[in-house]
Amino acid sequence: MANRGVLAETYTTRNRRQNYDEMPRTPEPTRFTSAMVKAAPAPRPDKPPAPVGDWSTAGTEEVADLVRDISPTRTRHGAIKLAAGVRVLFGHLETLPGATWQERWENSGFNVEKAPPVNILGRPGIGYDGSNATAALRAVFSARIIQPSLAGFRANRFAGYPETFRKIQNDPLVDAYYAAVDAQLQISEVHRNRAKFDVACALTTQGIDLADLTPSALLHYSLECKRLGVTPGANNDTTRFSALAAWEILHKIGHFPAGTAPTLRTFIYNGQRTVEELVGRYRFANADVRQLLVDYLTRRRADTDYNTLEGLARNIAGQFWDVVEELNPGQKDLALSPELYDQWRAEIQYWRKNGRTDYTRRRKDVASVLLAVRGLYMDLHSWAVAEPERWAHWVAPCPILPRDLKGFGKRRRDVNRRMADRTRVRQPLLPVLVRHLEDRFEHLAGLLDAARTLPLGQTFTHNGHRYSRSDSREDRRRAKILTDPAVRVVDHATGETINLTLVEDAAFWEWAAVEVLRHSGIRVEELTELTHLSIRQYERPNGEVIALLVVAPSKSERERVIPMSAELFHVIAQIIRRHTRGGRPIQLLTRYDGHEKTWSEPMPFLFQRRLGTVLNVISPATVLHMIGRSCEEIAATNPAFEDTKFTPHDFRRLFATEIVNGGLPIHIGAALLGHLNLQTTQGYVAVFAEDVVKSFQEFLNNRRSMRPEEEYADVTAEEWAEFEEHFDRRKVELGNCARPYGSPCQHEHACIRCPVLQVNPKMLPRLAEIETDLILRRKRAEEEQWLGEIEGIDLTLTFVRAKQADAARLTRRTTVTLGMPTSRPGSTPPDVTMSN
């Protein structure tokens, strides 16, 4: 376990850079324990490649002459510069210890992580010295005079290294690979060059020929590039992998052995762990309990999916027994003392990270841990009856009593209430989000169509905005060598250069994902699992043909069929049309299931898009991030979105609410949503009690129709005058009396003490006079010892100061004009004159 911890540490972001001199020379296994191919550098061949012979001990001038002769450049000036660069580089290496140029290179400091580039050897103020040294190093690496480490190689920026490498190698296999790369027209030229560079770099840094490049060696190269943050085109992003296209092309041309997976990503993700590995993540001192948990989870695995099994192992092994052993290292069985149980209950109130409790993060769902542990005890009790020789030894009283789970139902209701409130907040915002996505996609699609046929540099107007085709040096170069280069435009209003091909594609897939989610109510995992085979037709007995969407089993392992509405059919048709442009078929891809940790069979997935060098199925996390990004864009102009974001599951709840409140029977709604229990569907739709509101409104209308007609007569002039007079009589010195209509004053006009007095803020000076007068009266009462008077004055002072505070608060509020009431439409207003 100690060695495994060291390996894990080297893959963290903080410690991703390691010194090659400190790293073990033996091949290291990857963390992808379930992969059939393990990452390992290629073994050094018995006869290392030497396309120009052995020059490891040649003199500097000899190497300079060699580099000049083998250089791909045809100009005399270029050859002279290469020779000058060799003298700069090798002149420095000559001063270092070592019998060969390889040994001197390894002692130079240019071969370690975070190494500087060799252009620092140039003379100060003379820039071409450094560039000459870099060009010379490119030729030396290609000629295999020096074998660099990956860090030493990538510390330098080589222009045109793949082509230089190919010409010096003179290897038919390399030529065939380059030709296969050039034949991949669906990949842009930039990514084709990266595919060539990845292979050339892997061969150079591992000191092998292409014939010796195995899947393990290429996987090792990819993982090292990721670890070092030197993946080509990733801009120091340590989450991206290199050689993705190189792997696929090598697989297509039959370079890899039979049975090798067609994509490198197959070996990137962790597969399903065995039960022993799930339990083995925790360092238990008690081997017997460890074996018990392994046996228990092995039996439970037969009736559950992998995602549930992984969560069960986390709760029982990590949150239960790992904590118990930490609190009581000598615990030998499952019989916990009350004191130990109380300590464990206190510990699991907080999250644990790396085997330690994080007291800054409180756990919200403690009940899930309690239920898992209680299930362990209950299962052992029942299994011991049938197999006492295997389970009876571990039977113990369950420390988790029913009262410990008493609030579980309340917590579930709280969760349902929060979810219902979340849906209520988002329902009126859904049209805003949909309109934003539609407008953005239509705008970008129209802009792309308008710009695609224009020459570079041409200015045009679209929707009232001026744009021009980008006419940079890179745009001109790509227009010459590519049949369908990316369309880039410059927005004259902002000066921003927009890659329309890229942003239009992203806008389409975001629009398509939201449309399918909100019109079908499927889960986001089911969305990414949709394939071309999911579209079916059904002919009704009357001859009508209905389009159906077959949803693959996801959470409930229950396949279901959804009749497609016109809107849903439209977006599905748009997706298929996009994939099949130019008569192309929908590509067969494999998809990684993040829950089950397995790869699917090659299938024509609908939600696939090309990013960089390879086609990938869009992941659920990508859909979540796309929707969140759009919500942030809307929040810039719509305050309602400032603290509100949509998730893919929000559309499922909104769909369920809409169909059931629209009159669809709930059991049919449950079938469309894939729920096995009607109560689950009720939890989704119990948001707007539309039937309750409708029934109550009908009750009110019916009750009003049964009342005598005279109760709804028009207001007479006398009644209106009496109504106005009531408000006139409520006007008092300090403001307004809020007593009900038609009622007299009940407090003998002691307004200061009356709770219904509404003080006019303009009367604050008068209240100050009253307060001063009361203070003087209290002083006289104290002198005369009128204790009863003092008590009454103190009470009045309390009311006065409260009225002052209320009036002062009103001065800080803005005035809202509500207007005057009017008569009902169709009635004759009373002939009265209203004054201000």
Q: How far apart are CA 75 and CA 68, in angstroms?
A: 10
What is the β-pairing status of strands 614-617 and 459-462? unpaired
Average pLDDT over residues 693-711: 66
pLDDT in tens, 511-525: 999 999 999 888 899
The pLDDT of residue 695:
59
First to last CA, the chain: 88
With vertex at residue 161, the alpha carbon angle to CA 160 and CA 166, rounded to the nearest 5 degrees, is: 110
Query: What pLDDT is recorded for position 18?
Result: 33
180-195 pLDDT per residue, tens:
998 887 777 788 889 9
Average pLDDT over the chain, rounded to an integer: 82
Check residue 600 and report its DSSP letter.
P
Q: What is the predicted pLDDT for the residue at 819?
A: 54
Bridge partners, residue 563, by sequence: 548
> For 774-815, how does the pLDDT look when each residue is reduced to its tens digit (9 = 90+)?
899 989 988 888 888 888 888 888 888 888 888 887 776 555
pLDDT at residue 528 tops 70: yes
558 vs 333 pLDDT, higher one? 333
Which segments of 666-790 are extended strands (E)?
731-732, 735-737, 757-759
More confident residue, 433 or 678: 433
pTM: 0.66
Handedness of CA 646, 652, 653, 659 (dihedral sign): positive
Residue with tokens 């988790």: 400
Q: Is the pLDDT of residue 13 over 50?
A: no
d(CA 313, CA 317): 5
Report, as an integer, the average pLDDT of 291-319: 90
Say if residue 556's pLDDT is above 80.
no
- Give the pLDDT of residue 538: 79
> pLDDT of 727-762, one tens digit each?
677 778 888 777 776 677 766 667 777 877 888 888
Which ranges constitute the DSSP H helices of 521-597? 524-528, 566-579
* pLDDT of res. 283: 85
Weakest mean pLDDT among 143-157, 401-415, 527-541: 401-415
Per the model's pLDDT, the better-predicted residue between 828 and 502 turns out to be 502
Average pLDDT over residues 197-217: 93
Is residue 10 predicted with pLDDT exceeding 50?
A: no
Least confident of 76-80, 196-200, 509-513, 519-523: 76-80
Residue 696: per-residue pLDDT: 57
pLDDT tens sequence across 438-493: 999 999 999 999 998 899 999 999 988 999 999 988 888 778 776 778 899 999 99
Alpha helices in 364-429 (DSSP H): 366-386, 388-391, 408-426
The Cα–Cα gap between 269 and 614 comes to 17
What is the share, in percent, of the chain residues with pLDDT greater than 90? 32
Amino acid identity for residue 161 in this structure: Y
Q: For residues 80 and 128, is the Cβ–Cβ distance under 8 A? A: no
| Contact of 599 with 592, CB cutoff 8 Å | yes
- Residue 459, strand partner residues: 468
Read off the tokens for 583. Answer: 């008569």
Query: What pLDDT is attached to residue 537?
Result: 83
Per-residue CA distances from 554 to 524, 525, 551, 667, 740 (Å): 10, 7, 8, 19, 62
**Longest Cα pair distance anywhere in the chain, in angstroms?**
123
Q: What is the pLDDT of residue 3?
A: 34
